[in-house]
Chains A and B, each alone.
Chain A
């Protein structure tokens, strides 16, 4: 019985808790991608770098607050800085939309042209971020590090395995729930949200009903900026901030959005968790859990790690391929074929 509890705790500590946190971050990122896809109808390659830009603005404000002695006690100061980061990111994406994307929208350019344009935006945003904050790793988390500490958990329960929940993981999940709830409330209950969904479902019909497309697009960018900044800051708090890793997040984020079904918000969330759980379960060394579950003579000799952690991209990629082969519209039937 104790062995079983130990196994459960080890599993939660190394797989379930990190995967839930990572999944929430991916889901927030994928929501941004899926919104742009649904409304503006292209895959935004600059999304990773939008996340990095938003996180960068937040980090600057956080640093300023830290130097000014403003903090949230046990919570990271970055949470207080997040609204300012979102505002900065909103300004940035509205600026790019005004000076880059709007021209192509007016021309009714093909989606693939917009993808290439977003590639150019990606270059510029990437350059701006590296230029402003440098290509290195930045740490900006402060406050309490753990909600539940592994040592205290062991002392409290008397189990051999400890369970640690980082503050950043707790905050990630809570923030993600709040943000997603707000987003769905906005999309389903408000006038603007409804007009956005109408525009996404059928552009011509929406235009006929007197929906102002530029307004819809503007609100989309504002939502995307908020989602991207939140995702970027949460990821940065949980791991660390490094411009290049944000670029690399593009693949799992797109995989999440496509697995869930491009254009479907629910799908984006589901996809994020599918990708996160598969990435972590496949790259986790299961020995620690199996030791408790198996009789002693069957104890595994190796680490029982299916793939080394460096191949986590391969996992999201393979899932992506499987979904593309068997159900190209994704789990929740997005709009793309």
Chain B
């Protein structure tokens, strides 16, 4: 791997921007930004694997990220024993019934020849299975949601360390990706886009409505942390003393220390992923992927199984997004289904990949950093700009108030503009593919 001057300079500028924020605002803000930049970079890596290396158009990033968040809850939250005894078994039996119904229907589809009897049997199995599922499912869910609804009202999780949720988040996302990939890959690229758009909306709908699983819009807060708590640090004399040696007061030092711990964890994941990706993509497997992307027909003629490779890459890339989602929920310490917005979680990641340079992992990481930084910093910039624009207007005029109020929406405009400009004038991104 070589490091051309230009790339080093671009990353230096990025570091400079973060340092500038640290100096002018606060180091706390800068580290917080840095952490989210790392997570964004991981998401961008996942999308870049799909788009940059295989030409797959996934606009369901939000769904996979949210599945990662769900994994964080399911793994780390303490189990609600009362809810489990009330309806845990019922829900599991119901879900198994549902799965069995679908399995049976698929078997009938596959095994029996096409006939009217088959269609009728299929319908009978699906409709009967659905009502059986609802009959088993609904009472258990009611029972679970009745258990102390103000505090829990859901099954809780497994009570395991939250770090274990990261791979689990990847697995959940991979399973969803398999489902989508099986149906939509091999068709036109647009169809995959629509299908992923759909699955993302459905995942969010499930998170918002299945209270027994995620508490729905009541949110889950106070997830366990992989790093120490600020309060504990502030109460530890050894830490306070060390902080004083650095000339920091205990409170600031503790918040910085916690954020820095997160940064280390995230950076480790990012570096491991990057190394793995670079190795894989420079291997024969990676060359095959690029060959398929550049000319599917030729690759197929050479005996490459295009659909299988696409499915593989699609699942891998989505798993990375799930992993990033679990990491993000870990950082937030809470799952708020209402905050998952497609513009923020799907399309912004796309902007990162395109701006950074599709087909280049280093570029994707740079894009993740830069675009996340802009996304956060454009808002104050917008307020400032509007302040300048409106400074000449009469105090209290309706237009002035409207403009000042709308400054927050500047970021969507800016992101769209950045995306279009890069696509037009530098379609290969800031750090193009070699």
Does any Cβ of B come within 8 Å of A150's Cβ? no
Contact with A along B398-411 (1 / 0, CB 8 A): 00000001100111
Establish whether residues B191 and A328, one from each chain, have CB atoms under 8 Å apart when the complex forms. Answer: yes
Within 8 A of A (CB), among B188-219: 188-191, 193-195, 197-199, 201-202, 205, 208-209
Main secondary structure of the interface of A (DSSP, over half): helix
Interface set, chain B 381-434, CB cutoff 8 A to A: 405-406, 409-417, 419-420, 423-424, 427
Write the chain A residue with the least CB distance to B411: A127
Between A and B, how many residue pairs show CB distances below 8 Å? Answer: 133
A119 neighbours in B (Cβ, 8 Å): 59, 347, 350, 419
Q: Which of A294-337 contact B (CB under 8 A)?
A: 302, 306, 308, 310-311, 313-314, 316-317, 320-321, 324-325, 328, 336-337
Is B419 in contact with A321, judged by CB distance below 8 angstroms?
Answer: no
User: Is B43 interfacial (CB-CB < 8 Å)?
Assistant: no
A116 touches B406 (CB 8 A): no
Nearest chain A residue, comparing its CB with the CB of B131: A306
Interface status of A120 (Cβ within 8 A of chain B): yes
Q: Assuming A43-B194, A128-B413, A324-B195, is B183 touching A248 (CB within 8 A)? A: no
Cβ–Cβ < 8 Å partners of B98 in chain A: none
Set of chain A residues within 8 Å of B11, measured between Cβ atoms: none
Which residue from chain B places its CB closest to the CB of A125 in the assembled complex?
Answer: B416
| Docked CA distance A135–B189 (Å) | 32
Which residues from 107 to 131 on chain A have a C-beta closer than 8 Å to any C-beta of chain B? 111-113, 115-117, 119-128, 130-131
B415 in contact with A251 (CB, 8 Å): no
Choose among B130, B187, B199, B347 the residue that contacts A337 (Cβ–Cβ < 8 A): B187
> CA of A117 to CA of B419 in the docked complex: distance in angstroms?
8
Per-position binary interface string of chain B over residues 230-244, scored 1 when its CB falls under 8 Å from any chain A CB and 0 otherwise: 000000000000000
Q: How many angstroms from the CA of A131 to the CA of B193 in the assembled complex?
A: 27
Instruction: Check: A40 CB closer than 8 A to any chain B CB.
Output: no
- Cα separation A258 to B194 with both chains bound (whole Å): 10
Q: Nearest Cβ distance between residue A58 and chain B, in whole angstroms?
A: 19
A134: interface (CB < 8 Å): yes
Q: Given A43-B194, A131-B410, A324-B195, A120–B420 Cβ distance below 8 Å?
A: yes
Q: How many residues of A contact B (CB 8 A)?
A: 50
CB <8 Å contact, A116 and B354:
yes
**When the two chains form their complex, are residues A112 and B57 in contact, meaning their CB atoms are under 8 A apart?**
yes
Q: Within 8 Å of chain B (Cβ to Cβ): is A199?
A: no
Task: Please determine whether B420 and A121 come into contact, CB atoms closer than 8 angstroms.
Answer: yes
Whether the pair B183, A255 counts as a contact (CB closer than 8 A) is no
Pairwise interchain contact B201-A100, C-beta atoms closer than 8 A: no
Contact A42:B201 (CB < 8 A) given known A123-B412, A128-B413 = no
- Distance between Cα atoms of A111 and B190 in the complex (Å): 9
Closest 10 pairs between A and B when the two form their complex, measured CB to CB = A123-B416, A127-B412, A127-B413, A124-B416, A317-B198, A120-B419, A130-B409, A43-B190, A120-B420, A313-B201
User: What are 22 A-B pairs with beta-carbon distances under 8 A?
Assistant: A42-B190, A45-B193, A100-B420, A112-B190, A117-B423, A123-B415, A127-B414, A127-B416, A130-B409, A130-B412, A132-B406, A135-B409, A247-B343, A255-B194, A262-B190, A302-B138, A311-B205, A313-B202, A316-B198, A317-B195, A324-B184, A324-B191
Query: Could you list which residues of chain B lie within 8 angstroms of chain A, going by C-beta atoms?
Result: 55, 57, 59, 130, 138, 183-184, 187-191, 193-195, 197-199, 201-202, 205, 208-209, 342-343, 347, 350-351, 354, 405-406, 409-417, 419-420, 423-424, 427
Chain A residues at the B interface, C-beta cutoff of 8 Å? 42-43, 45, 100, 103, 111-113, 115-117, 119-128, 130-132, 134-135, 247-248, 250-251, 254-255, 258, 262, 302, 306, 308, 310-311, 313-314, 316-317, 320-321, 324-325, 328, 336-337
